[in-house]
Amino acid sequence: MTTTTRPTVSRRISNALKQNRGRAAIIAALAFIFLSGLFTMDTGDWVITVLRGLAVGAITFLVASGLSLIFGLMDVLNLAHGELFMLGAYVGWTVYVRPDTFMDMALPVALALAVAFCAPFLAPIAGRLSLSVGASRVVGVVLGVIGFLGAVWAFRRFPLSIWDLEQFDKTPTSDSIALQQGVQTVPEPAAWTGSAVVAIVVLILGVLAIVAGFAVVRYRTRVPEPTNARNLIPIAAAVGAVVVLLAFGDPMTDWLYSISTTYRFFLALVVALAGGFALGALIEIALIRPLYDRPIYQLMMTLGLGFIVIELVREVWGRPEFSMPKPALFAGTGDGCPGEGLGGLFSGCSTVKFLDTRVRMYNEVFIITVGVIVLVIITLLIKRTRIGMIIRAGVQDREMVEALGVNVRRVFTMVFALGVGLAAFGGVIAGPALGLSPEMGSRVLLLALIAMAVGGLTSFPGAAAGAVLVGLLQQFVIKAGSTGIPLPWSDQPFQPSPSLVPVSVILLMIVVLLVVPEGLYGREE
């Protein structure tokens, strides 16, 4: 019997260091930068800077994780990811600040979904039409355009209580302020414009036409995936939602206004996650899937999609940037506030005194906690579940996974949906801390792309590590702008100007890619 000789721990560490010299050097340099802050600034300043860095890292991670999963598995760089993050923030804001509008919108959306879920049953019919290429395209586009116009017309006839961008007291901004001051009143419910029956029928027919147009183009020759009874489940769920909303819409709206903002905030998170998931699935099926053979078109498509989302948000919510009040759980003030030390974390105060500094419960503690929880959940998903196994295998060799009998395309749809869901969720998380603006997406996308490049593009732990490094570096440079970095050869401390903040992050990426071209967690090809 032979026993394998195990290398000693110190030998193994020195081997690992030798193989990863570049990585070790970068980690050591960054650790030096971050730790040297301890000697040039107050402990309190240092603690708050680290916490802020981790919080920025957490938000960046929520975007970068989806980007890297999608890029790793499907080779799709989703440039609309930042904008979907932003859209999530706006949708979450609506659920949180104007639940009446959200409930009003839910009815037509559920109705449209119920019809759209019938698509698997339309596909076989479309296949049997046996149209020529040209004819199917014409029919598809005509059906799509007519259906879209009809659906939009009908949508506006539904009773939607919306804000008036021209009047300040009815704008999103004033709603936010009213909620924050606790003076929010329940707006008057809106009424149907014209006949309710006509609106509902036209919406159903419109969506049906869009789906039919899509099916005609898509399933001209291809054998559609077999339909089975499971396809009825989403239809039944959506129809059920429509019935519930028609019957109990108004009492549910009143109830949403009566509950604590904490619960409403968590509802907003759930809606953003689920809505992002559904939207992501839709984008993958309708827009990304036809372009898998043409990566450049795909890139252009996601870029364009991002612009569309920005303009859509400007049109619906208006131009002004507005805020999102913090949920009650993290907004406590008055007696006994701010809380002290670790026990203060549970005092319900908005801020806690901790290691010579005031830490904000929401901006620092909550966001970092959420980031860690998501990291753990996704890591478990990838390491422990069958779909995670398929993702890890698919990153290396999609064809082989498919040849084993796995419907890789469905896994693609789910991963894309998960990524978009996480981004939208991240948008709501970021809302109360950063405020809302149509530009918030492109800023976080830049950080996320850099985090991805630093971590090694397709590596999920790499995206997490990259996000944390980017966040920390950004916050340290911002802090150094006010405290200054003492230079041995000069009396004047060096104070990086605000424009050096984005530069520093890009510099980090350049240095990392020069030293370890495959990224910190990447693998040499």
Partner 1 sequence: MALLSLSEVNTFIDQYHILEGVDLAVGEGEIVALLGRNGAGKTTTLKTILGLTPAASGTIEFRGQSLTNRRPYEIAAGGIGYVPEHRAIFRDLTVEENLRIAEREKGDYAKRKDMILSLFPDLARLIELPGTKLSGGQQQMLAVGRALVPDNDLLLIDEPSEGLAPILIQQMMEAIKELSSDTTVLLVEQNFIVASRLASTYVIIEEGKSVHAGAMADLVDDDETIMRFLGAA
- The set of residues, in sequence order, having a beta carbon less than 8 Å from that of 453 and lying 6+ positions away, is 466, 509, 512, 513, 519
The C-alpha angle 523, 524, 525, rounded to 5 degrees, equals 110
Q: Indicate the helix (H) or strand (E) that contains 360.
A: strand 357-360
- What is the C-alpha separation between 406 and 391, in angstroms, rounded? 11
CA atoms within 13 A on the CB side of 336: 9
Closest to 276 in 3D by CA, of 461, 56, 86:
86
- Minimum gap (Å) between residue 360 Cβ and partner 1: 39
In which residue are the tokens 């966040």 written? 471
- The set of residues, in sequence order, having a beta carbon less than 8 Å from that of 166 and lying 6+ positions away, is none
- What is the C-alpha separation between 419 and 290, in angstroms, rounded? 19
Our CB check for partner 1 shows the closer of 26 and 123 to be: 123
- Minimum gap (Å) between residue 73 Cβ and partner 1: 12
- Minimum gap (Å) between residue 394 Cβ and partner 1: 9
295 token code pair: 């990566």
Give the Å distances, CA to CA, from 224 to 220, 359, 444. Answer: 10, 56, 39
Our CB check for partner 1 shows the closer of 395 and 451 to be: 395
Our CB check for partner 1 shows the closer of 188 and 399 to be: 399
Our CB check for partner 1 shows the closer of 369 and 396 to be: 396
Our CB check for partner 1 shows the closer of 124 and 481 to be: 124
- Coil, strand or helix: which one is 386? helix
- What is the C-alpha separation between 401 and 405, in angstroms, rounded? 7
Our CB check for partner 1 shows the closer of 175 and 518 to be: 518
Query: In this structure, are residues 422 and 374 in contact, taking their beta carbons and an 8 Å threshold?
Result: yes
Our CB check for partner 1 shows the closer of 230 and 386 to be: 386
- Minimum gap (Å) between residue 226 Cβ and partner 1: 8
- Minimum gap (Å) between residue 16 Cβ and partner 1: 15
CA atoms within 13 A on the CB side of 253: 24
- Minimum gap (Å) between residue 464 Cβ and partner 1: 17
- Minimum gap (Å) between residue 127 Cβ and partner 1: 10
- What is the C-alpha separation between 457 and 471, in angstroms, rounded? 17
- The set of residues, in sequence order, having a beta carbon less than 8 Å from that of 265 and lying 6+ positions away, is 96, 327, 329, 428, 432
- Minimum gap (Å) between residue 27 Cβ and partner 1: 23
Our CB check for partner 1 shows the closer of 19 and 333 to be: 19
- Minimum gap (Å) between residue 277 Cβ and partner 1: 23
Our CB check for partner 1 shows the closer of 156 and 523 to be: 523
Q: Which residues form the interface with partner 1 (CB under 8 A)?
A: 221-223, 225, 386, 389-390, 392-393, 395-397, 399-409
